[in-house]
C-alpha cells in the first residue's frame, strides 16, 4: 500500500535565518509559505538576490522576505524583510533543499509493482506503480523508486537514494547513498564494442563488468552509463551529471566532477577530481584527464590533459592559446582580401 504524507510548509523569518545562518533585517515574525523569483515575487513568498543584474527588482518585488548579501548597500528604503547572508545563492539552495525534503513523504509498495521475494529492503521503501525489482537485489533505508522503474538482479541501492520514473538499472549495478537518478536514465547497458572476424563481420564483445555509482552522485534525465567489459565503470562520490550524457564502458570519473548536457565520453578514459566539462564536449577513448581540468563547451579532446588545465576547441588546445588564435581566425576574411590585393598589384607590376 502507498502512503502519501504532505507537509504544510510555513516558516517565519527568524526560522529561515536559522536554516541559512543569516541575520534578519526587518520583521522577524513575518511568515512565508512558498518560493518565488525576485522579478515576480508575491506576498507570502521568499526570494533571493544572487546576481547584481537583478538589483533593480529588489525595490519592486512584493516578496515578503528577500535573502541578500551582507555586503549589499541599499540605494533606497524598502518595506520587505531582508535576511542577510554571506552567499545568497548558497543560502537559497539550502532553502530549496529544505522545502523539497518537507514537501512530500512517500512510502509503501504499490500493488501494481513487482518485487522478488529474494529482495532485501527496509520498511520505509517507496516503490511506485509498475516498477520491477528482480532477484537478490538490496535496497537501503528510505529508498524512493518511482513508477515504471526496472531494477535487475543483484543490484545494490544505498540509503536515501531516489530513482525517478522510467530508469533502467541492469544486473549487478551498485548505487551508493544519497544518489539521485532522473527519468529514463539507463545504468549498466552494454558498452559499444565489436571486433571484425576474418570475413569482415562485426562480432559483439560481451561486457561482463558492472557500473558503480558512489555516494552523493546525481545523474540527469536520459543519460546512459555503460557497464565495463571487465571490472567496473565508476562514477565517484559527489559527481553531478546533466541530461543526455553518454559515459562509455570502463570510464572512471573522479570525485565532485561536474558534467553538462550532451557530453560524450568514450571507453576507458579516466577523468580526475573536481573537473568541469561544458555541454556538447567530446572526450576520446583511453585518455587521462587530470584533476581540476576545465573543458569548455563543444570542445573535442583527443589527447591527455594535465591537472589544472583549461582547454577549448576542436581539437581542444590551451584555452588562452585558443582565444588568441580565434582573434586571427575571425579576421581571416579581411586578411585574405588584403593578400589578394597585394597579389593583384604584384601581377600588374
Distance CA 260, CA 264 (A): 10
Cell of 313: 576547441
Q: DSSP string covering 23-87, please? A: EEES-TT-EE-EE--GGG--TTEEEE--SGGGGGGGGT---SEEEEETT---SS---SEEEEES-
185 closest CA partner among 139, 223, 150: 223
4 is catalytic: no
Asked if 99 and 6 touch (Cβ cutoff 8 Å), the reply is no
Q: Of the listed 146, 182, 207, 249, which one is catalytic?
A: 249
Q: What are the counts of helices (DSSP H) followed by strands (DSSP E) for the chain?
A: 4, 41
Distance CA 49, CA 63 (A): 12
Half-sphere exposure of 133 (CA within 13 A, CB side): 29
The dihedral formed by the CA atoms of 320, 321, 326 and 328, expressed in degrees to the nearest 10: 130
Residue the block writes with cell 515576480: 40
Using only C-alpha atoms, the chain has a radius of gyration, in whole angstroms, of 26
Asked if 289 and 272 touch (Cβ cutoff 8 Å), the reply is yes
Contacts 24+ apart (CB under 8 A), 64-68: 64/30, 64/31, 64/32, 65/13, 65/16, 65/30, 65/32, 66/38, 66/41, 67/16, 67/20, 67/22, 67/91, 67/92, 67/95
Asked if 29 and 41 touch (Cβ cutoff 8 Å), the reply is no
Catalytic residue annotation:
249
Amino acid at each position: 500500500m502507498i502512503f502519501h504524507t504532505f507537509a504544510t510548509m510555513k516558516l517565519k523569518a527568524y526560522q529561515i535565518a536559522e536554516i541559512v545562518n543569516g541575520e534578519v533585517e526587518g520583521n522577524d515574525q513575518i511568515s512565508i509559505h512558498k518560493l518565488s523569483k525576485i522579478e515576480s515575487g508575491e506576498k507570502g513568498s521568499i526570494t533571493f538576490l544572487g546576481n547584481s543584474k537583478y538589483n533593480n527588482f529588489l525595490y519592486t518585488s512584493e516578496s515578503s522576505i528577500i535573502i541578500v548579501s551582507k555586503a549589499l548597500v541599499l540605494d533606497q528604503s524598502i518595506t520587505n524583510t531582508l535576511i542577510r547572508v554571506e552567499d545568497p545563492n548558497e543560502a537559497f539552495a539550502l532553502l530549496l533543499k529544505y522545502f523539497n525534503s518537507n514537501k512530500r513523504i512517500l512510502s509503501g509498495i504499490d500493488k501494481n509493482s513487482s518485487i522478488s521475494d529474494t529482495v532485501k529492503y527496509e520498511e520505509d521503501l517507496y516503490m511506485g506503480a509498475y516498477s520491477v525489482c528482480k532477484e537478490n537485489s538490496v535496497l537501503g533505508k528510505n529508498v524512493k523508486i518511482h513508477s515504471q522503474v526496472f531494477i535487475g538482479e543483484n543490484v545494490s541501492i544505498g540509503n536515501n537514494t531516489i530513482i525517478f520514473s522510467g530508469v533502467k538499472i541492469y544486473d549487478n549495478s551498485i548505487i551508493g547513498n544519497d544518489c539521485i537518478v532522473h527519468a529514463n536514465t539507463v545504468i549498466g547497458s552494454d558498452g559499444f564494442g565489436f571486433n571484425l572476424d576474418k570475413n569482415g563481420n562485426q562480432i559483439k564483445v560481451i561486457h561482463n563488468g558492472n557500473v558503480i555509482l558512489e555516494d552523493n552522485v546525481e545523474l540527469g534525465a536520459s543519460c546512459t552509463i555503460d557497464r565495463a567489459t571487465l571490472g567496473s565503470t565508476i562514477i565517484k562520490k559527489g559527481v553531478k551529471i546533466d541530461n543526455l550524457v553518454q559515459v562509455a564502458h570502463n570510464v572512471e570519473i573522479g570525485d565532485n566532477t561536474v558534467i553538462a548536457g550532451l557530453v560524450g565520453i568514450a571507453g576507458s578514459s579516466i577523468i580526475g577530481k573536481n573537473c568541469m566539462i561544458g555541454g556538447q564536449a567530446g572526450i576520446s577513448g583511453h585518455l587521462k584527464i587530470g584533476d581540476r581540468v576545465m573543458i569548455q563547451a563543444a570542445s573535442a579532446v583527443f589527447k591527455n590533459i594535465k591537472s589544472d588545465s583549461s582547454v577549448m576547441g576542436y581539437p581542444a588546445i590551451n584555452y588562452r592559446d585558443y582565444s588568441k588564435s580565434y582573434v586571427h581566425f575571425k579576421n581571416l576574411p579581411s586578411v585574405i582580401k588584403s593578400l589578394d590585393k597585394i597579389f593583384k598589384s604584384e601581377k600588374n607590376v
